[in-house]
Amino acid sequence: QVRLVESGGGLVQPGGSLRLSCRVSGVNFRLHDMEWHRQAPGNQRELVASITGGGSADYANSVKGRFTISRDNVWTTVFLQMNSLRPEDTAVYYCRTRARGRDFWGQGTQVTVQG
């Protein structure tokens, strides 16, 4: 069964940092692109970062220069290093991949940025 489990969220002050992790099982992890999305209350879910199986990364304009996505194919985990956090980064962050013609999502991890 495909399973994605996020962790690492929490409460941080503006300008602080967090590192999110997404442990993936049930797929051939090395062959799958991975994505981080986020959704704030009342807002649509948005893609913030993606990484291919080979390690090529892309970012939403709102997080470029502040967030870094990476992956460890041995431990089948994708990471999101978030620096210089802003209150507008507050959201539930979700890990996503596509397999067997459908999307698979984790349960999400809450990130709250406030003083």
Over residues 64-96, the pLDDT tens digits come to 999 999 999 999 999 999 999 999 999 999 999
The per-residue pLDDT for range 19-30, each reduced to its tens digit, is 999 999 999 988
Residue 104 has pLDDT above 90, yes or no: yes
Q: Output the CA–CA distances (angstroms, integers) from residue 50 to 12, 103, 115, in the order listed.
A: 23, 14, 29
The count of other CB atoms within 10 Å of the CB of residue 69 is: 22
What's the whole-number mean pLDDT along residues 90-111?
96
Cα 61 → chain centroid: 15
